[in-house]
């Protein structure tokens, strides 16, 4: 069957989701899992956008073994040069250049004539072709572009050296019929189109990103772009796991294949959800917790008799397995290490020891430690930034009563190594904690978003808190987990502050070298 290449942009377009702010270790961990998942092309970021993004792309390019790593660039030589410096050590350096082609974008955003846009695109691709063996050129807002102009500029950029042509539905406006026709027409009218791969990049503003992507495949597209869990700007991107499973289950209607290892689907989804703080809706296709749940009696009866009566996808296909409580209070370090490796983690000895101590601490208060619990512990340790001089929570005590003012007493170690303790109040326990921490951290902090969820089920489940806040004018996000909701809240607050401070240090180093 014809093979569809999978272009994952979770680390670029997905990270542009409001409130998402990944550090380098988190990006690297997601990149490694995407590599295990089997994506063909991985868009690791926008190297010219910041020093953090540059270093993140560079590290991923040096670490990923199987996928082709690419970075986004505008049509400026400085963007292209910066991308080359980040990607040149990868096995297959690849560049993704974009330029808007719709009348509304050319007139109001670019303020260029159509001829000037063609000249700009051709010059950029020609310049990049001297460095990169693979160049993808994207016609931003292609679905609202004039077809005659689109045909003309595509032909020119192919002659200039483009190897992939991407026609995005940038604002999620197209219908499946319109989007499919777009590619059909381009294939018929662009004389040199056989020299390139055609790629589709769909947004989900009208809920049609997956349908539009499949319509593109039916009309000759050989590469599909999207993100894990469909995250991304506004309503997000096409959900890659939904497209892949649809092609697998409905091979009779869509005789195409991908290189994805579907058994890694759930793990990939969970990792992206945890590190971005973007929860997966319970009714989300393929990976939502209700995707394989049956409440109606007639459904339950049917599934018990024959699963295919109401399940077209088996849980095992996407890597959903029953939790086995094989580790407990009396498990030793050797058994823990074997479990860590079986879950796909590769921790150094220091991180492994820290994770083992966290596991042992959890077994003192939690009877059964599930794979979900270990997933949180191990991911936190794997993506923890080893930086000296951060705020550390030393002690927390909260007093609450329905007739009393909630009061928090907290002790922290500051970046200078000082031990500080103070108390504060609030309308609720979490507000009391955050008011107190604001006094201790000596930073200007404004809370913008707070999310709480449980890991697993039961009254002894772990709590995980995701926070988004402005710290000294810079927006950041962080997370914290603990069996106690209030302790998890405190860890999430400090994690957010620490992450912003680390980013500030990186920016200071970058400015010092300019």
Q: Residue 377: what pLDDT?
A: 83
Q: Residue 289: what pLDDT?
A: 86
Q: How many residues does the chain have?
A: 514
Render pLDDT for 378-407 as a digit per residue (tens, 0 to 9).
Answer: 888 777 766 557 899 999 999 999 889 999
Render pLDDT for 469-499 as a digit per residue (tens, 0 to 9).
Answer: 999 998 889 999 998 999 999 999 999 999 8
Give the C-alpha separation, 479 to 464, whole Å.
7
Average pLDDT over residues 95-115: 97
Q: Cα separations (Å) of 335 from 328, 329, 330, 379, 414?
A: 10, 12, 10, 18, 36
DSSP 43-94: EEE-GGG-HHHHHHHHHHHHH-SSSEEEEEE-SSHHHHHHHHHHHTTSSS-E
Q: Cα separations (Å) of 311 from 192, 314, 317, 451?
A: 45, 7, 12, 32
For residue 204, give both structure tokens. Answer: 């989900």
Asked whether the predicted pLDDT for residue 295 surpasses 70, the reply is no
DSSP 260-324: --GGGHHHHHHHHHHHH--PPPTT-TTTSTTTT---SHHHHHHHHH-GGGT-SS-GGGGT-----
Asked whether the predicted pLDDT for residue 504 surpasses 90, the reply is no
Residue 73 confidence class, pLDDT cut points 50, 70, 90: very high
pTM: 0.85
pLDDT averaged over every residue in the chain: 91
Render pLDDT for 301-355 as a digit per residue (tens, 0 to 9).
Answer: 554 556 666 678 888 999 987 545 456 777 788 888 888 887 778 888 888 888 8
Residue 510 confidence class, pLDDT cut points 50, 70, 90: low
Q: Residue 298: what pLDDT?
A: 45
Give the C-alpha separation, 268 to 250, whole Å.
22
**Residue 330 gets which letter from DSSP?**
T
Asked whether the predicted pLDDT for residue 410 surpasses 60, the reply is yes
Q: Which residue has the higher pLDDT, 209 or 354?
A: 209
Average pLDDT over residues 146-175: 98
Q: Cα separations (Å) of 247 from 122, 191, 214, 250, 276?
A: 35, 30, 9, 5, 27
Residue 419 confidence class, pLDDT cut points 50, 70, 90: very high
Complete domains list, the chain, with CATH: 5-276 (3.20.20.70), 333-382 (no CATH), 392-513 (3.30.160.270)
Q: Which residue has the higher pLDDT, 23 or 67?
A: 67
Average pLDDT over residues 4-20: 94
Which of 109-118, 153-162, 323-332 has the lowest average pLDDT? 323-332
Give the C-alpha separation, 79 to 87, whole Å.
12
Give the C-alpha separation, 33 to 383, whole Å.
13
Q: Which residue has the higher pLDDT, 325 or 165?
A: 165
For residue 186, give both structure tokens. Answer: 């381009």
Q: Which residue has the higher pLDDT, 438 or 369?
A: 438
Q: Residue 293: what pLDDT?
A: 64
> Angle at CA 251, nearest 5°, toward 245 and 253?
115
Render pLDDT for 246-292 as a digit per residue (tens, 0 to 9).
Answer: 999 999 999 999 999 999 999 999 999 999 989 999 999 999 988 87
SS (H, E, C) 206-271: CCCHHHHHHHHHHCCCCEEEEEHHHCCCCCCECEHHHHHHHHHHCCCCCCCECCCCHHHHHHHHHH
Q: Cα separations (Å) of 73 from 97, 99, 135, 136?
A: 5, 10, 11, 10
Decide if 69 contacts 86 (C-beta within 8 A): no
Give the C-alpha separation, 163 to 279, whole Å.
36
Average pLDDT over residues 69-81: 98
Q: Residue 511: what pLDDT?
A: 66
Average pLDDT over residues 437-462: 89
Find, among 454, 403, 398, the residue nearest to 429 by Cα: 398
Find, among 217, 219, 256, 262, the residue nearest to 238 by Cα: 217
Give the C-alpha separation, 413 to 260, whole Å.
45
Name the percent of the chain lying above pLDDT 70.
92
């Amino acid at each position: 069957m014809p093979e569809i290449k999978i272009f994952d942009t979770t680390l670029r377009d997905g990270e542009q989701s409001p409130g998402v702010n990944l550090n380098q270790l988190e990006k690297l961990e997601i990149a490694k899992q995407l590599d295990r998942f089997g994506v063909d092309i991985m868009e690791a970021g926008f190297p010219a956008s910041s020093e953090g993004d540059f270093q993140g792309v560079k590290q991923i390019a040096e670490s990923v073994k199987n996928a082709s790593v690419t970075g986004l660039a505008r049509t400026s030589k400085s963007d292209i040069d910066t991308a080359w410096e980040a990607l040149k050590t990868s096995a297959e350096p690849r560049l993704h250049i974009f330029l808007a082609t719709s009348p509304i974008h050319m007139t109001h955003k670019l303020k260029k004539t159509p001829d000037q846009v063609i000249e700009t695109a051709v010059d950029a691709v020609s310049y990049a072709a001297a460095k990169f063996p693979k160049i993808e050129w994207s016609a931003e807002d292609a679905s609202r572009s004039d077809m005659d102009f689109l045909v003309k500029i595509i032909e020119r950029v192919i002659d200039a050296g483009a190897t992939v042509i991407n026609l995005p539905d940038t604002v999620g406006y197209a219908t499946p019929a319109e989007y499919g026709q777009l590619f059909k027409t381009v294939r018929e009218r662009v004389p040199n189109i056989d020299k390139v791969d055609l790629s589709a990049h769909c947004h989900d503003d009208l809920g049609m990103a997956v349908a539009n992507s499949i319509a593109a495949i039916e009309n000759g597209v050989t590469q599909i772009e999207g993100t894990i869990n469909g995250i991304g700007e506004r309503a997000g991107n096409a959900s890659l796991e939904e497209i892949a499973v649809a092609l697998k289950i409905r091979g009779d209607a869509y005789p195409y294949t991908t290189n994805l290892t579907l058994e890694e689907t759930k793990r990939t989804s969970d990792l992206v959800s945890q590190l971005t703080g973007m929860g997966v809706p319970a009714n989300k296709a393929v990976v939502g917790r209700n995707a394989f749940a049956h409440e109606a009696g007639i459904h339950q009866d049917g599934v018990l008799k024959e699963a295919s009566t109401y399940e077209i996808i088996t849980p095992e296909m996407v890597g959903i397995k029953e939790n086995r409580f094989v580790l407990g209070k009396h498990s030793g370090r050797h058994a823990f290490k074997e479990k860590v490796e079986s879950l796909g983690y590769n921790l150094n000895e220091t991180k492994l020891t820290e994770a083992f101590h966290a596991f042992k601490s959890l077994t003192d208060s939690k009877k059964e430690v599930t794979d979900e619990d270990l997933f949180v512990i191990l991911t936190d340790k794997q993506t923890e930034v080893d930086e000296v001089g951060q705020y550390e929570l030393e002690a927390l005590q909260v007093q609450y009563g329905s007739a009393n003012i909630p009061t928090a007493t907290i002790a922290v170690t500051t970046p200078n190594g000082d031990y500080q303790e103070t108390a504060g109040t609030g309308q609720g326990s979490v507000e009391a904690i955050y008011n107190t921490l604001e006094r201790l951290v000596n930073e200007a902090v404004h809370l913008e978003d707070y999310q709480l969820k449980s890991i697993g089920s039961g009254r002894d489940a772990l709590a995980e808190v995701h926070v988004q806040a402005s710290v000294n004018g810079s927006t950041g996000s962080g997370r914290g987990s603990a069996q106690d909701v209030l302790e998890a809240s405190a860890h999430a607050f400090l994690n957010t502050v620490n992450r912003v401070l680390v980013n500030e240090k990186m920016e200071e180093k970058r400015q010092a070298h300019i």
